[in-house]
Chains A and B, each alone.
Chain A
Amino acid sequence: GNSVTQMEGPVTLSEEAFLTINCTYTATGYPSLFWYVQYPGEGLQLLLKATKADDKGSNKGFEATYRKETTSFHLEKGSVQVSDSAVYFCALSDHGGGADGLTFGKGTHLIIQP
C-alpha cells in the first residue's frame, strides 16, 4: 500500500534560516506528490505539487523536487519567516481511473522564532 514518511517535529528555527523538511514515500505506480500547509485553527491548503519525476513544485518561496530514484519530495525554503509557522504535510495520490484519496504523512510542526 501507499505510505508517506516525513520527519518528526517540532522543528524550531530562527527567522531567515534555511528550511528542509524531509519526505519519502512508498507507492505502487507513479503518484503525484503534494505539500499541504495547515495554519492554526484552519484546514489544509495546498502549498505545492509535482506530478512526474524531476518536476519541481514551488510557491511562496518553498520548493520541492520529485525524485523518483530516491522516492523523495523534500520541502525547502531559503529564508523562513515567522508567518511560515504551521504544520506541513507531505502527501501522495495515485493516478488512476478517477479521483482517489490522498495519503498523508503525519505532519511536521514548524516553529519560526523571531
Chain B
Amino acid sequence: DAGVIQSPRHEVTEMGQEVTLRCKPISGHNSLFWYRQTMMRGLELLIYFNNNVPIDDSGMPEDRFSAKMPNASFSTLKIQPSEPRDSAVYFCASSLGVPGGSTEAFFGQGTRLTVV
C-alpha cells in the first residue's frame, strides 16, 4: 500500500483565499483524522471521521474550517477565507479502529500551508 497520501505537499496562498487540502487514506481503514501542527501548539486534532461520518469536530478552530469525507477513500479540509494564523503543517492520518481495541494511526507526509 502507498500509505496515506496528501496533496498538495506545499501550498502558499494569499489571505482571504480559499484553500483545500486533500487526503487519501489507506485502503480498508475506517477512521480518518486531520491534525494541525504548529510550533506554538504542537499537534492538535481538528476532526476525525469513522466510517465516513464526522465523530468529533471540537478541535476545528472556527467556522472558516470545514471537512468532508464523501467516501471511504477521500477527504478534504477546506479553509475559507484563509488567514495568516492558519499557516501550519496539516496532517491526515488513518487507522483501522475496532471496538474496545487499540488504534494505530498512519500519517501522511503533511501539507505545509503558508498564508501570506
Instruction: Name A's B-contacting residues (CB within 8 A).
Output: 32, 34, 36, 41-46, 49, 51, 89, 93, 95-107
Contact = CB atoms under 8 A, between A and B. Distances in A.
Contacts of A41: 109
B19 interface: no
Contacts of B48: 99-101
The secondary-structure label for the interface of chain A is: loop
Size class of B's contact patch?
Answer: 20 to 34
Contacts of A49: 102, 104
Given A100-B56, A100-B97, A46 B104 contact: yes
Given A99-B30, A106-B42, A43 B104 contact: no
30 contacts: A32-B103, A42-B110, A43-B4, A44-B43, A44-B105, A44-B107, A46-B104, A46-B105, A51-B102, A93-B102, A93-B103, A98-B31, A98-B55, A98-B97, A98-B99, A99-B30, A99-B50, A99-B96, A99-B97, A100-B48, A100-B55, A101-B45, A101-B48, A101-B56, A101-B59, A102-B33, A102-B93, A102-B105, A104-B43, A105-B42
Contacts of B28: none
Contacts, number: 73
Interface in B41-80: 42-43, 45, 48, 50, 55-56, 59
Interface string B19-31: 0000000000011
A105 B44 CA distance: 10
B99 A89 contact: no
B45 A95 contact: no
Contacts of A97: 99-100
B95 interface: yes
B91 A44 contact: yes
